Structure 1
Amino acid sequence: MPKAKGKTRKQKFGYNVNRKRLNRNARRKAAPRIECSHIRHAWDRTKSVRQNLAEMGLAMDPNKAVPFRKRKVKPMEVDMEERPKELVRKPYVLNDLEAEASLPEKKGNTLSRDLIDYVRYMVENHGEDYKNKKMEVE
């Protein structure tokens, strides 16, 4: 099938385009990578950050999530009207985060295998003599 006239033309290199700036601006405008896998899989790109977090049961602003009001007069029972809670459509994200947080933390303060072998060697050869003493020549 023939192509439309004028649609095929040689690609020309744009010498006046700064490729470094172009790539940097593209990286800046791109959405950041979400590190948490639970949140990343449930994320909807068509919605805002606030809407996404509200659907997962998370708060964007902790100050607004747990309001702290200073009142001198105690409110009456009639005045206590709870605002409607936002609908949590993705509760599995919150459940997964809670389950991951409740796991025991792995101890990361162990020494390397080489260092343990070196210390064992030094203790076997020198015992508890850890002070730096000069060698006595007989």
Structure 2
Amino acid sequence: MANKRTRNRKKFNYNVNLRKKWRKMKKQPTVLCEQMKHNWDPKKTTKQNMHDMGLSYDPNEAVPIPKTKEVMKPKNLKDEEEMDVDNIRSRQTKKKKLDPTKLHVVQELEDLSKLPTNPSRTFRLSAPVVQYCVYMLDKYGDDYKAMARDKKNYYQDTPKQIRQKINIFKGIPAHYNEYLKSKESGKVENMETEALTT
């Protein structure tokens, strides 16, 4: 019987191109954020680039979680203030890093996050789901329990599931506005047939 060490020994894989594998590991990450992409220096590491832009590479270093020993130890307020000052000084002396040079990136990202987002849905529902929602709304209004007992509830959706589908339908302006217009003009049946054809 073979020795356990020789059995589990790592064998060389001839099917892997090590040069290609090394290049792939060495390759810089693809940056999707436009503000970061313009200021990215390919000669620096990811950590150095993030530091230059004033961003945190490791959130645990940026905002450390205090240990329970540190939290429980001080008894007086003066001691606590002294410890906080000492901790800050000791952290600063441990790692002397240069100040970030590209702080405008952080400002651009903050401005971008403050812009209002468009809450309207961009996707569309499938034609059978639209037809189902139109049929249920016309026949029952807001009575979801009756909708659940309807014979066209083929998938045996519960009242909550039907309510969720109808809320999604109402949240998509392309579908719901068309439904309201057709309801005003009395052409709901036409909308159902159009939903089937599209």
Q: TM-score, normalised by structure 2?
A: 0.43
Note the 1:4-83 alignment, pairs <5 A: 21=17, 25=21, 26-67=23-64, 68=66, 70=70, 72=74, 73-74=79-80, 75=82, 81=89, 83=92
Q: Structure 1 pair 91/112, CA: closer, same or farther in 2 (3 Å)? A: same
Contact in 1 for aligned 2:54/2:100 (Cα 8 Å): yes
Opposite residue 55 of structure 1, the aligned amino acid is: D
Once the 2 structures are TM-superposed, how far is the Cα of residue 93 of structure 1 from its aligned partner?
A: 1.0
Once the 2 structures are TM-superposed, how far is the Cα of residue 58 of structure 1 from its aligned partner?
A: 0.7
Structure 1 residue 112 corresponds to structure 2 residue 124: yes
What secondary structure is seen at the aligned counterpart in 1 of 2:36? helix
Higher Cα Rg, which structure = 1
- Structure 1 gaps of 5+ residues are 1-17
Q: Deviations over 1:85-106 (max 9, x none)?
A: 7422112211121122223343
RMSD after superposition: 3.9
Counterpart Cα distance in 2 of 1:97 and 1:29: 28
**Alignment match, 1:8:** none
Opposite residue 108 of structure 2, the aligned amino acid is: D
Q: TM-score, normalised by structure 1?
A: 0.57
Counterpart Cα distance in 1 of 2:61 and 2:85: 23
Counterpart Cα distance in 1 of 2:114 and 2:104: 15
Q: Deviations over 1:40-92 (max 9, x none)?
A: 22111112222211111111222222344725232079857594774221122
Structure 1 residue 88 corresponds to structure 2 residue 100: yes
Alignment length (residue pairs): 115
Q: Answer 1 or 2: higher relative contact order, Cα 8 Å, separation at least 6.
A: 1
- Structure 2 gaps of 5+ residues are 1-14, 141-145, 153-198
Q: Structure 1 pair 123/106, CA: closer, same or farther in 2 (3 Å)? A: same
